[in-house]
């Protein structure tokens, strides 16, 4: 029984180490991509502003459509 316990502990530790390594890799990737995005925005400010404007307009339109589709009818008879 003790051998199974040791094996389970070893397996858990190796999984934790693997998870830690993977999370470091993901953090490094996100940091690198964020830096690349910031560099591109510095080099092309007009394109970055235009892209943000288009994204904002699409988000507003999507929110407006979702909100208006769930609205109650204006005139509703309660008899």
- The count of structural domains within the chain is 1
Residue 38 lies in a domain: yes
Residue 75 lies in a domain: no
Q: How much is the pTM?
A: 0.53
pLDDT (0 to 100) of residue 79 = 59
Tokens found for residue 36 = 């690349």
Residue showing tokens 């999370």:
23
Helix 45-69 to helix 2-43 angle, to the nearest 10 degrees?
Answer: 110
Give the model confidence (pLDDT) of 31-78 as tens digits: 999 999 999 999 999 999 999 999 999 999 999 999 888 766 666 666
Range of the domain at 63: 2-69
Residue 79 lies in a domain: no
């Amino acid at each position: 029984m003790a051998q199974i316990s040791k094996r389970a502990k070893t397996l858990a530790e190796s999984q934790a180490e693997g998870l830690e390594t993977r999370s470091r890799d993901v953090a490094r990737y996100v940091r690198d991509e964020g830096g690349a995005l910031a560099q591109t925005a510095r080099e092309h400010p007009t394109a970055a502003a235009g892209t943000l404007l288009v994204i904002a307009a699409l988000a507003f339109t999507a929110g407006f459509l979702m909100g208006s589709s769930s609205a109650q009818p204006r005139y509703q008879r309660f008899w």
